Chains A and B, each alone.
Chain A
Amino acid sequence: MKLGLVIDLDTCVGCHACATACKQWNTSGTIGPLSDQDAYGRDPNGSWLNRIRTFEVNEGGSGCSDAPLDLHAMATDTASKTVHMPMSCMQCENADCVTVCPTGASYKREEDGIVLIDQDKCMGCNLCAWACPYGARELDESQGVMKKCTLCVDRIYDEALPEAERQPACVLSCPTSSRVFGDFDDPNSKVSQLVVERAGQPLMPELGYAPTNQYLPPRAQAEVPQAAKKASATVAKLKQWANQIIAR
């Protein structure tokens, strides 16, 4: 078995429900607690096993260059889109985080490919976090040991749960079903089929980690024809001037 996630970048709305569900489940799970520092203070931070970043992706033109923004061009530019990218452990097949670990705390399970950390063996040297290109490992500052996504190993095999709930917490909580959990070794599984249908791809395959998790790229949108707006030269200049002095 090769368990992992498929994440649909087309439908993810960046609501962070997966991250909070992950935190809620895993803080009381096998690797819990996931501590927070300054939780109610000025700079709340803590260990998270899943983080969502939002990017502006412009496939057509100049919309997201570092040049001064041209709002008129952006408003008519259909090639620019917002992509939310949740990232957790990719359960890599060539997991360098496991091989660099000097204590044997990090290991990859032979039976299902899940990469885990034995909390009782970790000495908190951070080397595995350095070896991970995806930022999937975070040191728990109050316990001094490394934390990472377990693919909810304490849920997915729990026979006390109804079968439909034997899935990672992030998958169950996703309101747009952008996260799918399954076995990539089985060509008939939902995850394998989605990867084939939607041309799923891993992140940074060139580094050679052979990540298991796959990302489905945003679907190509039909181009919406827009009437060209005619603006007089003076108005255009004024607009350009206003855009330049107003920071975004």
Chain B
Amino acid sequence: MKPAFSVLFFTVTSGIGYGLLVWLLGYNMVGSQPIEMELSLVIIFIGLVFATLGLLSSTLHLANPKNAWRAFSRFRTSWLSREGVFALLFYPVILAYAGLLYFGSSSSVDYALQTGLALLAIAIAVATVYCTGMIYASLKPIRQWHHPLVTPIYLLLSAFSGLVLFVLILVIAGESAFVNSGLQLTLILGVVCALVKLAYFVSIGRPEGLSIETATGFSQAQVKLLDAGHNADTFLTKEFVFKVEARRLQRLRWLAGLMAFMVPILCIAIVSAGMVQTSAGILLLWLCAFLSLYVGLIVERWLFFAEARHVVRLYHGEKTS
């Protein structure tokens, strides 16, 4: 599949935004001491900027964006429609939560309402990222996407990147209480993400599924394309027949693994081992972890597209899917 930069940017950026907000809401709910109101509002603003930038960028790949408003109409069948509905629903809930933080009192009614809104916002944020994953995982013609690990990876990476940004903001704000308690969690989540992504890479490497023979119906024969019927590129070849050298893919996999997992995990491990004591040093390490993770995730998402081989390629001469 041809990687569209707007979609790569969208899934990574809005994933971080939703992840960040889920951690904030969760921490405010179960943490020993909720984060101060002003800082909470700043984090909500940052999270919404990430989520909104991502969503706006997703409309850039539409060929006819004037009809984008119709995309909310098929909630019952379409994962893309569901994603749009949940993404839109998230705004009133999180804004109501922010409003309650700002205007609310410390009465038990307000507290209960706040908890309810937080739970609802968490559920909607998780549902939005889940829908993003399911848009890809529901496509049967692409076996690298129609894979049981695709949606968990979207959720895990959103959680990991959101958590790294969450801690980074707390480090900047000088809130050391959570930073210390969250180190272990960030490390564990990072390692789990790396292992699941590794399992995905191993699993899609196994040749299986359709071949040019089964796709043309001559499964007992040997089949080869003689003529595709056109001499210039078509919509199908431009969209689906995206070819990258195997060696380049291998290098990019290493790059993604290095930037999205190894560098951030190493940075966090250095902090958690207490090897850096100055606050500037800790800040630099977290910043390094986050920026590396961001670039790494863009590469990871690019690979997610570049390595996906749609079965229509079999009708354009490819031997296996």
Within 8 A of A (CB), among B180-231: 210, 212, 214-218, 220-231
Within 8 A of B (CB), among A200-234: 201, 203-204, 206-209, 215, 217
Q: Are A101 and B217 in contact (CB under 8 A)?
A: no
For the complex, is B235 an interface residue (Cβ under 8 Å from A)?
A: yes
Interface code A56-73, partner B: CB below 8 Å = 1, 0 otherwise?
A: 111100111100000000
Q: How far is the CA of A116 from the CA of B65 in the complex (A)?
A: 20
Closest Cβ of chain B: how far from A247's Cβ, in Å?
15
> A103-B67, A125-B62 are known contacts. Are A204 and B312 too (CB-CB below 8 A)?
no
Within 8 A of A (CB), among B39-97: 61-68, 70-74, 77-81, 84
Highest count of chain A CB atoms <10 Å: which of B84, B140, B225: B140
Q: How far is the CA of A42 from the CA of B233 in the complex (A)?
A: 11
Q: How far is the CA of A134 from the CA of B25 in the complex (A)?
A: 45
> A53-B229, A63-B222, A82-B226 are known contacts. Are A138 and B234 too (CB-CB below 8 A)?
yes
Within 8 Å CB of A103, what residues of B? 67, 70-71, 73-74, 81
Q: How many contacting A-B pairs (Cβ < 8 A)? A: 188
Q: How far is the CA of A83 from the CA of B224 in the complex (A)?
A: 10
Q: Are B80 and A145 in contact (CB under 8 A)?
A: no
In the complex, identify which listed stretch (A23-31, A43-51, A156-164, A175-183) lies at the interface while the others stay far away. A43-51
For the complex, is B110 an interface residue (Cβ under 8 Å from A)?
A: no
Select from chain A the residue with minimum beta-carbon distance to B58.
A125
Q: How far is the CA of A153 from the CA of B231 in the complex (A)?
A: 30
For the complex, is A52 an interface residue (Cβ under 8 Å from B)?
A: yes
Within 8 Å CB of B310, what residues of A? 130, 133
Q: Are A124 and B232 in contact (CB under 8 A)?
A: no
Contact of B315 among A53, A99, A201 (CB under 8 A): A53
Q: Are A133 and B232 in contact (CB under 8 A)?
A: no
Q: Are B140 and A133 in contact (CB under 8 A)?
A: yes
Q: Are B80 and A144 in contact (CB under 8 A)?
A: no
Q: How far is the CA of A203 from the CA of B68 in the complex (A)?
A: 33
For the complex, is B142 an interface residue (Cβ under 8 Å from A)?
A: yes
What size tier do the contact residues of chain A reach? 35 or more
Interface of B is mostly: mixed
For the complex, is B175 an interface residue (Cβ under 8 Å from A)?
A: no
Further 12 A-B residue pairs, CB within 8 A, beyond A51-B229, A124-B62, A206-B214: A45-B232, A54-B226, A55-B216, A56-B226, A83-B218, A96-B139, A102-B80, A124-B65, A132-B141, A135-B315, A141-B235, A145-B63
* A-B CB contact pairs (8 Å), 16 listed: A38-B232, A54-B226, A59-B218, A64-B223, A65-B222, A99-B77, A100-B80, A102-B74, A103-B70, A103-B74, A122-B67, A130-B239, A131-B139, A132-B312, A144-B62, A217-B218
Interface residues of A (CB under 8 A from B): 14, 16, 19, 38, 42-45, 47-48, 51-59, 62-65, 82-83, 85, 87, 96, 98-105, 120-127, 129-135, 138-139, 141, 143-145, 201, 203-204, 206-209, 215, 217
